[in-house]
Structure 1
Amino acid sequence: MHASPDVVTITLNPALDDSFSVPRLIPGSKMRCSTPRIDPGGGGINVARVLHVLGIPTLAVFPVAGHIGRALSERLEIERLPFAGVEVPGETRLSHHVTELETGLEYRFVLPGTELARADLDRCLQAVRRGGRHAAYVVLSGSLPPGVSADVVPRVRCLSDALGARLVLDASGGALAQAHGAYLIKPSVRELKEHLGRELDTLAEQVAGARELLDDTHASAVVLSRGHLGIALVTPTGTQLLPAVAGDVVSGVGAGDALVAGIVAGLTRGWDIPRAARLGLACSAAMIATAGTSVFSRDDLAAFTDVLPGEAARGRTLRRDAV
């Protein structure tokens, strides 16, 4: 029996990730690939794996379908990550991440996933209810599989409320439109642009869009991921721009999930959101420095926390009327 977790993550569309490289992508040709790296994947699972490295008691909840789902579960057992896998029909999806060595470009091939019936979704949420009785945070992260509509978000929010936990949402599409009452929301600029239906080319437009999402959902914070530029942290009292942490770039897969994990880890320790966000940025940089969806170690992370911006460069605070 696992200890009661501080965080429960929900991954409704898990994946088994394979990552490999080719010298050059050539249409119609047989390309010789490197030995693949196989890792568990899917938003909430990635968040849980990073939280586990950070020493935060975590339970990952996800549907397990077919041989691939069982292979994913076996890898989590090797990592000793507590999880509640819910057996469902079908086959868990594969995701492929290919690096072209000639250019250094990374290509991602993401499959839709197996359909999740309403009854199976209900069983996944029941697993959250059973496992999260003492959780402080529930994290719903990743894409929604076929058969699951965006109205799952208010269902998870009601479940979080019933558990006395705060909901952290990292999702896209219609899920952002259903995010009312979430504690913290982490969209990328692209996801926010798609949600609002307009371009967000400038910093001012991005911050205004994040604030619109904050006001519409009554969230406590919106963490807008700006890629290599860092994040815009928007709260009811103002906006802070926090720069990304510099480091080697090996693979961008899972960087956003590591950002969420670091933030949630800080919050479970009682930190304020800006301090937790800086840990999230360090985790993101450490994740980018690893291959595929492999998770960094605590020693790896120490190198990035050492290079976090100093007190004078932790980020700049903008007045609400400044952008």
Structure 2
Amino acid sequence: MKNIATLTMNPTIDVSYDVDKMQPTHKMRTENEWYAPGGGGINVARVFVRLGGHARCYYLSGGATGPALDGLIDRHQLVRTRIPIAGSTRVASAVLERESGKEYRFVPQGPHIAEREWRECLDRLADVECEYMVLSGSLPPGVPDDYYARIAGLLRPRGIEIVLDSSGAALAAGIDAGGLTLIKPSRGELRQYAGRSLDDVDAIGKAAMEIVEAGKARFVAVTMGHEGAVLAREEGPAFLPAPRIKAASAVGAGDSFVAGMVFALASGKDEREAFRFGLAAGSAAVLRAGNALAYPEDIERLLARIEPL
């Protein structure tokens, strides 16, 4: 088993609650209050370690909420490297309305990061020891759009495999710089990058293959929620439908997908089996309410329901 490192530039303290009914101006009493460390890379590490792998989390943390995030990461027994910042770590909320079964998510933009802070992060990463580096999540205000591309350029010459899961300008800059092992855009994120409508599986596969054929990424896994996912690789595109399940939450599905696929690749599986495992992990994440993410027993159960490619 190879070890990985993850970077979370804009982490969160994830809070989840249940309420009977969402009502404006009323004080709504909550139940099932739950706190967890969150943000793309931290979520990936949580699932990767559950599966039996080894992961080190690099993340920015500061302000009054920073120590709380650090403590939550320690409770999950994750190996961590904290880059201190002046701004406060954001707090994101997921509220389940029992009456309708709908989930409401509130996600702040995040603190402004000073140049000296994001440069210190680059300095810390220069000495990272891992086989896979997972760059996951949004970039907070103040960080250059090409930040993930800079990190990839720093680490790739050392033989480190780069996995990118972001959106918008950060994703576009990372793809355009090239040399990536895996990217995992959602259908909407790929649509934004491609600049055109992607209304069916064939169109999604074609857009993903353009990235592979241009040599920008070896694998492109495009998630489509409950519909499934598309994998683009040198041999061509492939589609797998998601197993039919009753969803309890959408939090962390994409991060669980990345963790599952990278775990399988790091374990020596080929991209087809890794893609299946990633789809099972992403589906497993939505079985549980709040921000629990995927658990190995759920992944294995769902994997048996996903046809081989």
Normalising by structure 2, we get a TM-score of 0.93
Q: How does 1:200-211 map to 2 (within 5 A)?
A: 200-211=198-209
The answer for the alignment partner of 2:190 in structure 1 is 192
> Which 10-residue stretch deviates more, 240-249 or 8-17?
240-249
- Alpha-carbon separation, structure 2, partners of 1:258 and 1:82: 18
Offset, 1:219: 0.8
The answer for the alignment partner of 1:16 in structure 2 is 13
2:227 to 226, 229, 232: 229
Q: Is the 8 A contact 2:111 2:141 kept in 1?
A: yes
The answer for the alignment partner of 1:242 in structure 2 is 240
Offset, 1:249: 1.4
**5+ residue gaps, structure 1:** 316-323
- Alpha-carbon separation, structure 2, partners of 1:8 and 1:248: 32
Pair 1:155–1:242, CA change in 2 (3 A) = same
The answer for the alignment partner of 1:64 in structure 2 is 61
The answer for the alignment partner of 1:108 in structure 2 is 105
Q: Is the 8 A contact 2:206 2:237 kept in 1?
A: no
- Alpha-carbon separation, structure 2, partners of 1:80 and 1:280: 23
The answer for the alignment partner of 1:270 in structure 2 is 268
The answer for the alignment partner of 2:50 in structure 1 is 53
The answer for the alignment partner of 1:32 in structure 2 is 29
The answer for the alignment partner of 1:321 in structure 2 is none
The answer for the alignment partner of 1:92 in structure 2 is 89
The answer for the alignment partner of 1:279 in structure 2 is 277
- Alpha-carbon separation, structure 2, partners of 1:185 and 1:122: 24
Offset, 1:171: 0.6
In the alignment, residue 162 of structure 2 is paired with which amino acid? L
Alignment: residue pair count = 306
Q: Is the 8 A contact 1:8 1:128 kept in 2?
A: no
Q: Is the 8 A contact 2:232 2:238 kept in 1?
A: yes
- Alpha-carbon separation, structure 2, partners of 1:245 and 1:150: 36
Normalising by structure 1, we get a TM-score of 0.90
Question: What secondary structure, in the 3-state scheme, does the structure 2 residue paired with 1:67 have?
Answer: coil
Q: Is the 8 A contact 1:129 1:163 kept in 2?
A: no
- Alpha-carbon separation, structure 1, partners of 2:154 and 2:291: 29
- Alpha-carbon separation, structure 1, partners of 2:163 and 2:23: 41
Q: How does 1:158-177 map to 2 (within 5 A)?
A: 158-177=153-172
Pair 1:5–1:93, CA change in 2 (3 A) = farther
The answer for the alignment partner of 1:314 in structure 2 is 308
- Alpha-carbon separation, structure 2, partners of 1:292 and 1:40: 12
The answer for the alignment partner of 2:149 in structure 1 is 154
1:127 paired with 2:127, answer no
1:144 to 132, 136, 139: 139
Q: Is the 8 A contact 2:209 2:236 kept in 1?
A: no
1:254 paired with 2:252, answer yes
Q: Is the 8 A contact 1:40 1:293 kept in 2?
A: no
Identity of aligned residues (%): 37
- Alpha-carbon separation, structure 2, partners of 1:61 and 1:175: 18
Question: What secondary structure, in the 3-state scheme, does the structure 1 residue paired with 2:162 have?
Answer: strand
- Alpha-carbon separation, structure 2, partners of 1:253 and 1:217: 31
Over aligned residues, Cα RMSD in angstroms?
1.8
**5+ residue gaps, structure 2:** none
Pair 1:126–1:79, CA change in 2 (3 A) = same
Offset, 1:5: 7.2
Offset, 1:207: 1.6
Question: What secondary structure, in the 3-state scheme, does the structure 2 residue paired with 1:283 have?
Answer: helix
> Which 10-residue stretch deviates more, 265-274 or 191-200?
191-200
- Alpha-carbon separation, structure 1, partners of 2:262 and 2:278: 8
Q: Is the 8 A contact 2:11 2:40 kept in 1?
A: yes
- Alpha-carbon separation, structure 1, partners of 2:15 and 2:50: 21
Pair 1:99–1:270, CA change in 2 (3 A) = same
- Alpha-carbon separation, structure 2, partners of 1:199 and 1:206: 9
